[in-house]
Amino acid sequence: MTVDEEVFLQQILQDRDLLFRETSKLKSQLVSYENFESERVSYQQQLGEKDQTIKMLLQKVETLLRKIWGKSNERYIKEDPQQRCLDFDGLDLLPEEEELATSARQEIEQYKTIRVLLKVKGHPVRKPLPESLPREECHIYPDDLDLEKWTELQPEITEVLECNPERWYVRRIIRHKYALKDKSLEVEKQIITAPMPVLPIAKSYAGATLLADICINKYVNHLPFYRQIQMFQQQGISISAATINGWFQDVADLMRPTYFRLKDLVLSSDYVQCDETTIPIINNEKHKAIKGYIWMIRAVMWDLVFFHYDQGSRAQKVALQLFKYYQGVLQTDGYIVYDIYENKKGVLPIGCWAHSRRYFMDSLKEDKARASYALEQIGLLYDVERRADQEQLSYEERSELRCRLSYPIMVVFEKWLVNEYPKVLPKGRIGQAIKYTYGIYHKLTRYHLDGRLKIDNNLAENAVRGIALGRRNWLFCGNHEAAENAAILYSMMGCCKASGVNFREWMIFFLNNVHNYDKDYSKDLAELLPHNFKLQNPNCNSTLS
């Protein structure tokens, strides 16, 4: 064997030895991966869960961005007005159902076309300033005017609205005293004094107008007390925070009996809407603000609004106590605590189409075809309501119109929901929208039974909007007692708004007359409520309502 062959053989042996060592090392490492397949599956599951979490978080971010920057109008306008509004493919429909739904859609679309053609666009016109405002004249003459050479014509008049800061004043109550001149006369008192008028808060220098302004500024204009104190200081008036908080507590105590009378009136009506909203409460034990809930109940036919606070709870026990003796129609969203009233005798729960529409609006980007179809069907139902409003139909006529046009569309839409749900992801947005709508569909369709009933719960949501605006300004309530007092004020201000009553005029009236009911139990506290105040004062309409 030559030298070169020996070198070549040694090189091969070294390479084989190196490969053997590497193979042995890899085999030893593979011993710990005997269950490799199960670990791979577990790893893929973790990746899938992370992908779902990322997708869910992205959806939440999109929702929040849409709430902050998106359009607030919930009406859906389809991009292609020529596309079909009803799709019967795959639906198990009777010929009569298909014919009724098609006829209803055609009539709704035809009425919408006629309405658009008849609509005349008006030109904006500046409204004249109220005649009740005092006028101060300011005369301006041309420069270098020689009256011997000029004859005056009709002047040109321009009205400019001006505003001065609030005028503070002190009302001095002077009670005149008299002494009897002839001391020999037998009388009960030798000295008589004019009686002291009853003040809203005993032994307080706060008048009814000041108390009204403080409460209205916070619970209507959303100005926290500390900002009002700063405004007072700019006007030369110094009032401490403790004093104003004490006044607010006293005003709430004055309103409390009337507030309970309002609660009885609202729950004695036969048609109410209910909603809940959050209100931050300071928890002294945790030293932070926690989320509490305040309930709103609205008597639709009587324009009465009642807010209820029970330790910040949103539990079913609160609803059970609240509607313990209620009999009538109860309109709510899909919150599960109301499901128990489905089986209560004398109570008819109905749903809210606006809530269902929001679910499909949120799913437009995920499944545009299905979401658009659902929104178009809901839009047809709202078109029927707009037609009834414009034609000023009576309750009986509105119910008849709903039975003729709305009901056939709801029949087809329900079968579409059943047909499409197995085709979508249950946890996807469109899946949740279909599941939510079908789960309460029996409640959603009941509104057509009575012309008095509303298609949605928007009146209730409008009533709680003031709280949503207020909590962004005054931020939180100091404790549960403060939240209960806030519920009282919101109830009274909500009734003023619902009845179109001037907030300030009513509150001054209430504070000046509430003590007339202290000892006379034959009087009804309901006489002090805003809707009855409006009957006695028809000119007290509020521009804020």
Domain spans of the chain, in order of start: 259-351+457-482, 352-449
* Nearest-angstrom CA–CA distance, 493 and 307: 10
Q: Pick 88 or 204 by higher pLDDT.
A: 204
Question: Would you mind telling me the total number of residues written for the chain in this entry?
Answer: 545
Q: Note the pLDDT of residue 343.
A: 85
pLDDT at 72 over 60: no
pTM above 0.85, yes or no: no
Half-sphere exposure of 25 (CA within 13 A, CB side): 6
pLDDT-derived band at 279 (thresholds 50, 70, 90) equals confident
Determine the 3-state secondary structure of 264 from DSSP: helix
Query: Average pLDDT for residues 457-463, to the nearest whole number?
Result: 84
Q: Note the pLDDT of residue 81.
A: 46
* Nearest-angstrom CA–CA distance, 404 and 387: 13
CB contact set of 243 (below 8 Å; sequence gap of 6+): none
CB contact set of 542 (below 8 Å; sequence gap of 6+): 496, 497, 500, 501, 502, 503
pLDDT at 543 over 50: no
Query: Average pLDDT for residues 213-222, to the nearest whole number?
Result: 91
Q: Note the pLDDT of residue 492.
A: 94
**What would the pLDDT profile of 319-365 be if each residue is shown by its tens digit?**
889 998 999 999 998 888 888 888 888 999 999 999 999 999 888 88
Domain 259-351+457-482 is in which class?
Answer: alpha beta
* Nearest-angstrom CA–CA distance, 93 and 416: 10
The lowest-confidence range among 122-131, 251-260, 346-355, 438-447 is 122-131
CB atoms closer than 10 angstroms to residue 222: 17
